[in-house]
């Protein structure tokens, strides 16, 4: 009997849909308290997953989904940096 390989799924913090991990973009709060887009999915730190579109990012910010995932308030300057990097990342995909 052939074993079916399990595909990891994650929930988007914007639209709350479960999708394959590879289809989502990971935002990471690193141990030194900075926020970065994780292209590899392997950086250490707490991660939150977002669909690779602007609508889900806006929804995650508006509904405070990112703040809930990281269990802390994120400064507006940091949110704008995440937005800028996220939009650059998704345009490059």
Question: pLDDT digit string (tens) for 61-89?
Answer: 999 999 999 999 999 999 999 999 988 87
Q: What is the pTM of this model?
A: 0.87
Backbone angles phi, psi at 60, to 5 degrees: -65, -35
Residue 4 has, within 13 A of its CA and on its CB side, a CA count of 3
pLDDT for the residue 80: 93
Helix (H, G, I), strand (E, B) or coil at 92: helix
Cα separation, 15 vs 50, in Å, equals 8
Report the pLDDT value the prediction gives residue 92, as an integer from 0 to 100: 59
Rg (CA), the chain: 14
**Coil vs helix vs strand at 35:** strand
Angle at 82 between CA 44 and CA 89, to 5 degrees: 85
For domain 9-92, give the fold: Hypothetical Cytosolic Protein; Chain: A; (3.30.1230)
> pLDDT, tens digit, for every residue of 27-52?
999 999 999 999 888 999 999 999 99
* pLDDT of amino acid 59: 96
């Amino acid at each position: 009997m052939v074993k079916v390989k399990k595909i990891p799924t994650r929930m988007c913090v914007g639209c709350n849909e479960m999708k394959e991990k590879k289809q989502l973009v990971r935002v990471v709060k690193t141990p030194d308290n900075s926020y970065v887009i994780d292209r590899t999915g392997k950086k250490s730190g707490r991660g939150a997953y977002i669909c690779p579109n602007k609508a889900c990012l806006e929804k995650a910010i508006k509904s405070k989904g990112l703040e809930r995932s990281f269990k802390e308030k994120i400064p507006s300057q940091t949110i704008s940096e995440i937005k800028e990097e996220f939009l650059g990342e998704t345009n490059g995909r």
